[in-house]
Amino acid sequence: MKFGTDGVRGPAGVWPIDEAGAARIGAAATRLGGQGARVVVARDTRPSGPGLMAAVCAAIQASGGQALDAGVLPTPAVSLAVQRGLADVGVMITASHNDAPDNGFKLFTVGGRKLTADETAQVETWLVQPLVPADGGSVSPAPQVREQYLSALKDALDVDLSGKSIAVDMANGAAMALAGDLASLCGATVVQVAAGDGPINAGCGAVHPERLAETVRLQELDGGFAVDGDADRCTLVTEQGEVVPGDALILRLAQARQVTGLAVTVMSNAALESQLPGVQVVRTPVGDKHLQRAMASQGLPLGGEESGHVLFDDWPGGDGLLTGFRALAACFAGADTVSQAMASYVAFPRDLSKLTVGNKPPLAEVEGLTKMLAQWESELNGGRVFIRYSGTESVVRILVEGPEDDAVQRIAHASREWLAQALA
């Protein structure tokens, strides 16, 4: 069993997303927390969730740990429970934005954070070792996890959207655990979308915001947002039903919060740097765990991915509900409508292509590449060139972006030609 960028996931009922794999996860989570560890376990609404949860909890108990069954809750409720001391370790059973037939596991440790590379390697070692039974374990319901999350969310939001009518798309997923509390969180009139009327993520949620957009437009609402299946990411829509790019969302939050620095991934548009003068913009590899580490090490108050994962320094992990409400409040604080608030964001033209290569020498060792990158970027007038190998294909991916489309296309062509020769 190997962890990817965000835990492990795959088809439910097939190793390792089956009861045997779930038992391994439960035992490993107990070892991660230490003797008698309190392990909070929650899930989203997938049909495979109850069986996997029962297997995780049973393995925690058999390993001498205290399994806290929190039921259906968003992923951020699990990380918050660990951060604030209700548990030592957290296990979230979810496949995030994947369709209902999939499922998976996310682990959280000290501070409510995701595992480091070293911790992941250690857990993967435990997953292949025999299960070691121990006495003193238990399984108990944990309604306090939901109560703590709701209370903390209300305190963290501190927004007033009174007089506004908004839509919230819950993706038929974990956010439905808070369905009855949405209006009290923000003061707005809330129209619920995808709140138990179909399979998780099926034509709804953060990855499929079309239904949300149509609801906002037809009901003439002031805007809205969608979360994904486990509610840790957010997609915003304007009052016109237009989907807001993730980078525009990050920009608006950065402006409204007057941050002096933020973390984004290598895939965010280079326009962010030009539109946030005086703000330190730190770029990381793809994955919110990399953003979280950059924020912690460099004292940055905000981080975000263009996919809608946003991190705040006063919250332990990505939270779609927190992001959505804060984003709408940020919009209305400085503009009459969401579309007006987002109008300042203008993405740079971008060319994203790939090139089949015969070998993959480390890019840092490709003779002349550093010099060429500097030359290309100097011709882009504030743009950038980002090159990386695919992890699954024999290709190199080339991203070129800048304020002038003609220059972007010219450099994209030149970089492909140069790399084709250098990596032949």
Cβ neighbours of residue 418 closer than 8 Å, sequence gap 6 or more: 372
The DSSP secondary structure of 148-169, one letter per residue, reads HHHHHHHHHH----TT-EEEEE
Among 159, 168, 212, 214, residue whose Cα is nearest residue 189: 168
The DSSP secondary structure of 338-352, one letter per residue, reads HHHHHTT--PPPEEE
Max Cα–Cα distance, the chain, nearest Å: 69
Write down the catalytic residue from 48, 63, 96, 268: 96
Cα atoms in the 13 Å half-sphere on the side-chain side of 353? 18
Cβ neighbours of residue 421 closer than 8 Å, sequence gap 6 or more: none
Region of residue 185 (phi > 0: left; psi between -120 and 50: alpha; otherwise: beta): alpha
Alpha-carbon distance of 248 to 216, in angstroms, equals 19
Active site residue 96: yes
Which residues does residue 235 pair with via DSSP β-bridges, in sequence order?
Answer: 226
> What residue type is assigned to position 313 of the chain?
D
Cα atoms in the 13 Å half-sphere on the side-chain side of 281? 22
Contact 304, 311 (CB under 8 A): yes
Catalytic (active-site) positions: 96
